[in-house]
Amino acid sequence: MTAAMMMAAQRGSTSRQGHAYPNTARLVLLLVMLAAAVLLFAKPPPIERARMLAYTPAQIRESRLKPANIEIKHPVRAAYVILVRNSELHELRATIRQLEDQFNARHRYPYVFLNNKPFTEEFKRAMEWVTSGDCHFGLVPYEHWSMPPWVDRVRAKWAMAMLGSKVPYGDSESYRKMCRYESGFFFRHPLLDDYDYYWRVEPGVEFSCEITHDPFKYMADNKKTYGFTISLREIPLTVKTLWKTTNAFRASYPEYIAPNNMLSWITASNGDYNLCHFWSNFEIASLDFFRSPQYTAYFDFLDRAGGFFLERWGDAPVHTLAAAMFLNKTQVHFFDNIGYYHRPFQNCPTDPQFNMQHCFCNPNRSMIHNEDSCTNAWLQL
């Protein structure tokens, strides 16, 4: 019912009843005014669509290749994929410097940088200087970085306000857009069409050990689909209906569920979701997994439910639930020898000899020792 219809109905009601409920009328009017204000506030700026049409081809997609890499033949069609803002330039420079020193300077795998705003020339040149691999810069389409039209924006804004400071990014719409994008769209970007595997990297993370083998080649040679370093439990308030929605998907698409799956790892004794998930800010994975009919059907099912905005579903539990349904344990790999730190957790190799020879992290602080880690339970599957 529109605001005008509600006001007309209220006027009719009060006139028929001799103004018997003046307080109710004022309350309804106040609610209508509040809803109108929220709608005005929630309405996405139409200029964004127009701005996308005004971007130059180089702002939408640009590759900067290095002549020294022409002769390189990588064993796997793979790339680092980094979703980043221009303002995170210096945090990312530090991260890539470590990644180059610990591994990529010897292999020169390419980088794909993605942003929902055009990259600045300063950013592009800085990435060229700090990397050994070719650099590709892409703009995220508006449709992939927005609240879809079937989500009630008023409900979503209200849900964000209610979650507020109770959880990290509880009231952030941009964070929800990022989670939705990393859940269902990053692998569809044309810059990734030429690759079979990807390694997700985020600004500010640290690589605390020399990486003595090629993780991409290991994944391909051993028919691995998904690789992780850290697992932990999700915040319950952010995924209140994710498990219910996932079970509805399972009931609708039983043919997609792998016979030897990992659902027992994420299922509590009472049948609920135990909140375990792979921490997806680090993941090395097959892009064919995300492009598969079962994964895209699962994402579309979740997307239509609206939980990315009406709650705060993260890409980490979404990736994890998908892996648990569609993969078996032999297709997933724990990179225990990759030293990785994303505040406040880290994975630090616990083998004493390897750690002393190749790392600068403290193995006693590795997440695997934390009671909220789910990795030991996964290893016991």
| Residue 26, φ and ψ in degrees, nearest 5 | -65, -35
Give the residue among 135, 219, 224, 146 at the shortest CA–CA distance from 185: 146
Omega into 22 within 30° of 0, i.e. cis? no
Q: Quick one: pLDDT at residue 26?
A: 66
What residue spans define the domains of the chain?
1-9+22-43, 143-379
Q: Quick one: pLDDT at residue 59?
A: 84
Q: Quick one: pLDDT at residue 50?
A: 52
CATH of span 143-379: 3.90.550.10
Q: Quick one: pLDDT at residue 171?
A: 97
What is the three-class DSSP state of 324?
A: helix
Low-confidence ranges of the chain (pLDDT < 50): 1-21, 38-43, 47
Distances (CA, A) of 302 to 124, 180, 241, 308: 35, 10, 10, 8
- Type of residue at 257: I
What are the DSSP calls for 38-90, one per residue? Answer: HHHHHSPPTHHHHHHHHS-HHHHEEEE--GGGTT---SS-EEEEEE--GGGHH
CA angle, 133 then 137 then 138, to 5°: 140
Q: What is the pTM of this model?
A: 0.87
Q: Quick one: pLDDT at residue 140?
A: 96
What is the three-class DSSP state of 203?
A: coil
Which of the residues are catalytic? 283
Q: Quick one: pLDDT at residue 56?
A: 79
Q: Quick one: pLDDT at residue 146?
A: 95
3-state percent helix, strand, coil for the chain, nearest multiple of 5: 50, 15, 35
Look at phi and psi of residue 201 and say left if phi exceeds 0, alpha if psi is from -120 to 50, else beta.
beta
Q: How far is CA 303 from the centre of its chain?
A: 13
Give the residue among 200, 202, 197 at the shortest CA–CA distance from 217: 197
- 205 close to 282: Cβ distance less than 8 angstroms: yes
In whole angstroms, give the CA distance from residue 342 to residue 230: 10
Q: Quick one: pLDDT at residue 18?
A: 40
Q: Quick one: pLDDT at residue 162?
A: 96
Q: Quick one: pLDDT at residue 2?
A: 39
